[in-house]
């Protein structure tokens, strides 16, 4: 048992969605998250991996305090939180922030970048205006954007720059936990590398805990400390990155690994040889 309290802990988290009935169909309940437990320490990254419909984004929204869990317990810094029962305190709201997949959809097109960054401070803290401005400019520098972007609008930025802005906004309240839902999936490979590097730098600087949702195993292998593989709402595999990648135990994890394209020269050579053999056979 480590002396430090984990930043976030989930115990047997459950999420049900109620599908209303119609003339021909009875109402039913869909269990999207079926009892998941995990914990993330300061400065560490938990990657949640799964395909569409696995419940990974539903779980992310519970951890990010956007949706309440239907069952189980969620603890932030050792304190139980249930947004279904009690309003969040400002303090709790500041501790957990989220970055979404689509940087085009997650910024208000009519809000200048400076206002995007200052708004969380205005809403959640009593920081005076001049101080808000100073902190926003500081944060822009930290995510690698020049100060003159302060008065520009989101449409003037590329996808990678917008994702930097979204990350900067998430960090304005000095959170301890960032929930990142597919933050690099919409980005080109070269931009993806820059954003992953930025996330690594920020994690080291602020000792942040990350919950990183992804379907891309090569990204997960690069960034994660712990890995949780979800399939149909269940955690089919959970463990350290090394353990999961070295010896996946669950058949679904193995299927996922086998389906992920590999780019090493030996396997390309083998494929090309197989193809030539088949061609020779038919010719």
Partner 1 sequence: MALLTIRNLTVRFATSTGSFTAVDGIDVTVDKGEVLAIVGESGSGKSVSMLAAMGLLPDTASVTADEMTFDGHDLLAMTPRQRRRIIGRQITMIFQEPVASLNPSFTTGYQIEEVLRFNAGLSKRQARARALELYRQVGIPEPEEKLRSYPHQMSGGQCQRVMIAMAIATNPRLLIADEPTTALDVTIQKQILDLLMDLQEKTGMALILITHDMGVVAQTADRVQVQYKGRKMEEADVLTLFEAPSHPYTRALLSALPENATGDRLPTVGSFLEPEVQP
Rule CB under 8 A: which residues touch partner 1? Answer: 51-52, 159, 188-194, 196-197, 200, 215-219, 221-223, 255-256, 258-263, 265, 267-269, 271-272, 275, 278-279, 282
CB of 209 to partner 1, least distance (A): 18
Nearer to partner 1, 121 or 236 (CB): 236
Give phi and psi for 155, each to the nearest 5. Answer: -65, -15
Backbone torsions φ then ψ of 89, nearest 5 degrees = -75, 160
Q: Which is nearer to partner 1, 66 or 270 (CB)?
A: 270
CB of 226 to partner 1, least distance (A): 17
Q: What is the dihedral of CA 177, 180, 181, 182, to 10 degrees?
A: -160
Give the nearer residue to partner 1 in terms of CB position, either 53 or 80.
53
Query: What are the distances in angstroms from CA 137 to CA 25, 33, 131, 168, 188?
Result: 55, 39, 10, 10, 27
CB of 159 to partner 1, least distance (A): 8
Rounded least distance, CB 271 to partner 1, Å: 7
Give the shortest CB-194-to-partner 1 separation in angstroms.
5
Query: Can you list the alpha helix ranges (DSSP code H) found in the chain?
Result: 56-63, 90-95, 113-124, 129-142, 159-171, 189-206, 217-223, 241-246, 251-259, 265-282
Nearer to partner 1, 137 or 216 (CB): 216
Q: Give 74 or 195: the residue with its C-beta nearer to partner 1.
A: 195
Q: How far is CA 164 from the centre of its chain?
A: 14
What burial class does residue 5 get, using C-beta atoms within 10 Å of its C-beta: 0-12 exposed, 13-18 middle, 19+ buried?
A: middle
- Which CB sits closer to partner 1, 9 or 203? 203
Smallest distance from partner 1 to CB 117, Å: 24
Distance CA 197, CA 206 (A): 14
Nearer to partner 1, 91 or 205 (CB): 205
CB of 237 to partner 1, least distance (A): 15
- The strand pairing partners of 211, in sequence order, are 46, 179
Cβ atoms 60, 210 nearer than 8 A: no
**Smallest Cα–Cα separation from 71: which of 32, 19, 21?**
32
Separation of CA 144 from chain center: 21
């Amino acid at each position: 048992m480590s002396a430090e309290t984990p930043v976030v802990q989930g115990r047997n988290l459950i999420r049900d969605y109620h599908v209303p009935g119609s003339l021909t169909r009875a109402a039913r309940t869909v269990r999207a998250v079926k009892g998941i437990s995990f914990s993330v320490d300061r400065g560490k990254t938990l990657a949640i991996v799964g395909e569409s419909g696995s419940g990974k984004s539903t779980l992310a929204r519970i951890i990010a305090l956007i949706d309440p869990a239907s069952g189980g317990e969620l603890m932030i810094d050792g304190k139980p939180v249930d947004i279904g029962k009690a309003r969040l305190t400002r303090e709790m709201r500041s501790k957990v922030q989220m970055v979404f997949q689509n940087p085009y959809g997650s910024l208000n097109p009519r809000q200048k970048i400076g206002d995007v960054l200052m708004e969380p401070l205005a809403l959640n803290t009593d920081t005076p205006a001049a101080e808000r401005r100073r902190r926003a400019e500081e944060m822009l520098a930290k995510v690698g954007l020049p100060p003159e972007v302060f008065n520009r609008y989101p449409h003037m930025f590329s996808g990678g720059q917008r994702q930097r802005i979204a990350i900067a906004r998430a960090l304005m309240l000095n959170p301890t936990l960032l929930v990142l839902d597919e933050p690099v999936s919409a980005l080109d490979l070269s931009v993806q590398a820059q954003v992953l590097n930025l996330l690594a730098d920020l994690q080291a600087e602020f000792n942040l805990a990350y919950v990183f949702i992804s379907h891309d195993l090569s990204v997960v292998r690069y960034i994660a400390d712990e890995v949780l593989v979800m399939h149909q709402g269940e955690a089919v595999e959970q463990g350290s990155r090394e353990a999961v990648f070295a010896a996946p135990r669950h058949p679904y994890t193995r299927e996922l690994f086998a389906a992920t394209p590999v780019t090493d020269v030996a396997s390309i050579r083998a494929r090309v040889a197989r193809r030539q053999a088949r061609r020779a056979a038919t010719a």
